[in-house]
Structure 1
Amino acid sequence: MRLRPLLLATLVCATVPAWADSSACMDNASTQMAMNECVGRELKAADQKLNDTYRTLLSKVSKEGAEQLRKAQRAWLAWRDAQCTFDTMGTRGGSINSMQTAMCVEKLTQAQTAHLAAQLHCKEGDVSCGGQ
């Protein structure tokens, strides 16, 4: 079941306590469960930022651009999940797997957020940007 690690990471995100600082959180985490909670909190924040950026971009593009953005985002989500399943195969079955999966998803989510945000801040004359 390749979705099991992502489901576990999602459940971790939903139950994460609201610690003030994620780096302090990891520094003070002494169990795998505590580390999972820290990483889950970071993933939740990254996912929220991606969703905000996506919605902002969606509101600024044409109808055709919105259709293509939705299609691209769905494809990206499927790729991200498959990529992280592949990347974390070495930890499958271990207690660290959900943390490794969440870290992978967070990293790729941050990259996608930056990619979408770039479309919101096109430089003048860049014909590959903002024409949607």
Structure 2
Amino acid sequence: MKKIGIMMLCLALSPLAYANEPYTPGYTACMEEAGGVTVDMIDCIAEELETQDARLNGAYQALRGELSEQRRQSLLQAQRLWIQYRDANCQFYATAGGTLARVSANECMLRETAERAQELDAMGGF
């Protein structure tokens, strides 16, 4: 029963479950290779988070360059508040206890970062 639960979690955390999110193909392969092993899953998530964080920073900088000074300040304030929200929300997952809580918290950081990068990409020319 425990193995089925872990496999269900792997499927839920898989990028296939988030078809609209821009995870890399390498992330999918890494998660499949992890086979439900917590430490390997966390390593996969950490690697993809680096990629998505770089994408987020690039999208943020590109958008900033298109905005007036007043809108740049609004974007900065919104980004700071978004980071506070993301960190607090994902920390909530971590407090559930157990090793799967670590996976869920890390996956939350990845998901939220990828979604924000996608959102900022879409705002270009706004």
TM-score > 0.5, shorter chain as reference: yes
The Cα shift of 1:88 comes to 4.1
Cα distance in 1 for partners of 2:50, 2:105 equals 13
- Residue 102 (structure 2) pairs with residue 101 (structure 1): no
Cα distance in 2 for partners of 1:114, 1:39 equals 17
Q: Given the two structures, how large is their TM-score scaled by the length of structure 1? A: 0.68
Cα distance in 1 for partners of 2:109, 2:68 equals 29
Unaligned runs of 5+ in 2: 1-24
Q: Given the two structures, how large is their TM-score scaled by the length of structure 2? A: 0.71
Unaligned runs of 5+ in 1: 1-19, 122-129
> Residue 48 of structure 2 corresponds to which residue in structure 1?
42
- Residue 77 (structure 2) pairs with residue 71 (structure 1): yes
What's the secondary structure of 1:120's corresponding residue?
Answer: coil
Cα RMSD (Å): 1.8
- Residue 41 (structure 2) pairs with residue 32 (structure 1): no
Which structure has more helix as a fraction of its residues?
2
Deviation sequence 1:83-131 (CA, Å, 0-9, x none): 11224432x3x2233321111111111221222122105xxxxxxxx2x
- Residue 63 (structure 2) pairs with residue 57 (structure 1): yes
AA aligned to 2:60 is Y
Cα distance in 2 for partners of 1:115, 1:21 equals 22
Cα distance in 1 for partners of 2:93, 2:71 equals 32
> Residue 21 of structure 1 corresponds to which residue in structure 2?
26
AA aligned to 1:72 is A
> Residue 9 of structure 1 corresponds to which residue in structure 2?
none
> How many residues end up aligned between the 2 structures?
101
